[in-house]
Structure 1
């Protein structure tokens, strides 16, 4: 699992930080989707970060 998913799950990172990580290609929407599937982040967090519903 991507570091940023764990960081978001444990409140070590904010959604804005994850958005920046996506811009730097350090995390991807696919990584976020896997995080939702494993219940590490919520669908609402996914939507807030990507702007798209899962």
Structure 2
């Protein structure tokens, strides 16, 4: 599991900081998708990072 996903889950960082990490290449949207699929991240958190993120069915 990516550090940023864990940090967001434990609320050590804000979605804005994770967004910066994605922009810098330290975390990928794939990492975030994995966290969402494992129910570690919420749809709201992901939409703050990437507004176009849609809920999976």
Normalised by the length of structure 2, the TM-score is 0.87
| Distance (whole Å) between structure 1 residues aligned to residue 50 and residue 12 of structure 2 | 19
**What do you get for the CA RMSD once the two structures are aligned?**
0.8
Q: Which structure would you say has the larger Rg? A: 2
- Unaligned runs of 5+ residues in structure 1 are none
Q: How does 1:15-30 map to 2 (within 5 A)?
A: 15-30=15-30
User: Tell me, which stretches of 5 or more residues in structure 2 are unaligned?
Assistant: none
Query: Contact (CA 8 Å) 2:5, 2:35: kept in 1 or not?
Result: yes
Distance of 1:28 and 1:3 partners within structure 2: 11
Aligned length: 54
